[in-house]
Structure 1
Amino acid sequence: MRYADPYAVAGQWYKGNLHTHTTQSDGRLAPEQVVAWYDQNGYDFVAITDHDTFLDPTPLQGATRMTLIPGFEFSRGVIAEAHMLCLGVRQVYGGSYQEVLNFTRALGGMAILCHPNWVREDLWSPDLMVELHDYAGIEIYNHVINRLPGRALATDDWDAMLTRGYPIWGYANQDAHRPEDFGHAWNMVLSPTATISDLLYHLEKGHCYGSTGLVFADIGMRDGTIQIRLEDEAEIRFVGPGGQVLGTASGRQASWLPDGQSYIRVEAENAAGQRAWSQPFWRLSE
């Protein structure tokens, strides 16, 4: 029985945040300040995604070594409504959720559904998500929700979708609005280069993982076994359909032999509460 390995690609790891706001919408820092913070704190890429506003990052690119990904957050100007990130696009557009997803795809971009458990548990319910197509995945962790109504974590919604057979990816983002929001979640992308096109391609293909501080030193399949190695000690969990924990291990490394489950993903958490989430390893059709 074979499983798809989302990390079986050549490249190097790049660190970045895909959900960031500036004074062009409801952020507290000017675009120049936002770019400077990420540049000074070791990020390789950042997407500025102001609400229903396109901020052209091109004039800012000369001031940073990072890759600046264009995009915006589709929110219809409404707070308590489901939002989505439209990345790799250079204009704002509207319509129904599916129309926005269609526009994003037509323009060569990728879309991520934002903070499923913000405000209320069914903001992005699995029943709603299955009606849509052409999005890469969902925010399984959105840091800013820790200071807002709702839950930052959305792995329950993720597992609900994966269990139904929808191969979507999970992303961890800061949704940074204030200085205190910065630096608490990010995505590590395995890509040959840090160009916009390469980063978006590998993000959309799931060659990445989300983190709030833990780092996978190595992750992938070896001889049919999922193997991981962390840079720090942590509790490691292998999760399958229905969010069931199939097995656990403590330490810096662990392995798991899949036993016919439709998917298996890995999550880890250390004593300080820092986490990392792998993408799912999907069982392939024979």
Structure 2
Amino acid sequence: MKPSAFENPGKFWRGNLHTHSNLSDGILEPEEVCRRYKAEGYDFLALTDHFIGMYDYPIVDTLPFRDESFTTILGAEVHSGTMENGELWHILAVGLPADFKPSNSPHFLPVENQESGPELAQRCVEAGAFVAVAHPQWSGMTLNDARSITAAHAVETYNHGCANGCDRADGFHTLDL
């Protein structure tokens, strides 16, 4: 059943701004990820693989998978600096240029001389990206962390992979900051 809000006049777009392929920790080739989303009736997709060194800092070229009824947006899940819990930031950057300069993030562990998460988010915005905090509850984000990332446009409020993997899927606690 469709929620009644979608029966109102206007154009509604169905999309996903956070998913991965086998170019990072996903299972499927980028082409197959795009094909499946299109087959399920999605209008757009941002394939946001983990932008870290162990995966060669991918910004996946999904432009060949666009057509008149389905579009893709270049992006990545970028990582750098530590949150209060000592873990790296997980930040979605949708609309990144293909030549975006990587942070010093060779893997998912903190290293010396990393820019902070808020600094990386600001750099993504300056490059033209729409920035969102990814799966804040799964990441263990504190309210102080959330308040520090002033360049973010949004917070991911639900992540089904996090629901299946560890039952920490929502980010609602950070919405009104």
After TM superposition, the score normalised by the length of structure 1 is 0.47
Q: Flag the 1:61–1:131 CA change in 2: closer, same or farther, 3 A.
A: same
In structure 2, C-alpha distance between the alignment counterparts of 1:112 and 1:75, rounded to whole Å: 12
In structure 1, C-alpha distance between the alignment counterparts of 2:17 and 2:46, rounded to whole Å: 5
Corresponding position: 1:24 with 2:23:
yes
Name the structure with the higher helix share.
Answer: 2
- Could you say which structure has the greater relative contact order, defined with CA pairs below 8 angstroms and 6 or more residues apart? 1
2:131 to 104, 111, 119: 111
Name the structure with the higher strand share.
Answer: 1
Q: Flag the 1:44–1:83 CA change in 2: closer, same or farther, 3 A.
A: same
Structure 1 gap segments, 5+ residues each: 1-9, 167-286
Deviation at 1:154, TM superposition (A): 2.2
Runs of 4 or more, structure 1, over 4 Å off, are none
In structure 2, C-alpha distance between the alignment counterparts of 1:112 and 1:146, rounded to whole Å: 19
1:17-96 residue pairs with structure 2 within 5 A? Answer: 17-52=16-51, 53-62=58-67, 65-76=69-80, 81-90=88-97, 91-94=100-103, 95-96=115-116
Which amino acid in the other structure matches residue 69 of structure 2? R
Question: % of aligned pairs identical?
Answer: 30
Residues 65-117 of structure 1 deviation map (CA, whole Å, 9 limit, x = unaligned): 311011000135x9x53301011012253232122112111111111001111
CA contact (8 A) 1:82 1:116 kept: no
Deviation at 1:57, TM superposition (A): 1.6
In structure 1, C-alpha distance between the alignment counterparts of 2:74 and 2:49, rounded to whole Å: 10
Which one has a bigger Cα radius of gyration? Answer: 1
* Count of paired positions: 145
In structure 2, C-alpha distance between the alignment counterparts of 1:82 and 1:98, rounded to whole Å: 9
SS of 1:118's equivalent in the other structure is helix
SS of 1:29's equivalent in the other structure is coil
CA contact (8 A) 2:78 2:90 kept: yes
CA RMSD of aligned residues (A): 2.1
1:1-286 residue pairs with structure 2 within 5 A? Answer: 12-52=11-51, 53-62=58-67, 65-76=69-80, 81-90=88-97, 91-94=100-103, 95-118=115-138, 123-158=140-175, 162=176, 166=177
In structure 2, C-alpha distance between the alignment counterparts of 1:145 and 1:98, rounded to whole Å: 23
Structure 2 gap segments, 5+ residues each: 1-8, 52-57, 104-114
CA contact (8 A) 1:93 1:100 kept: no
Residues 30-71 of structure 1 deviation map (CA, whole Å, 9 limit, x = unaligned): 011001101111000010000002112222225x73110110
CA contact (8 A) 1:54 1:92 kept: no
Deviation at 1:17, TM superposition (A): 0.5
In structure 2, C-alpha distance between the alignment counterparts of 1:58 and 1:140, rounded to whole Å: 27
After TM superposition, the score normalised by the length of structure 2 is 0.74
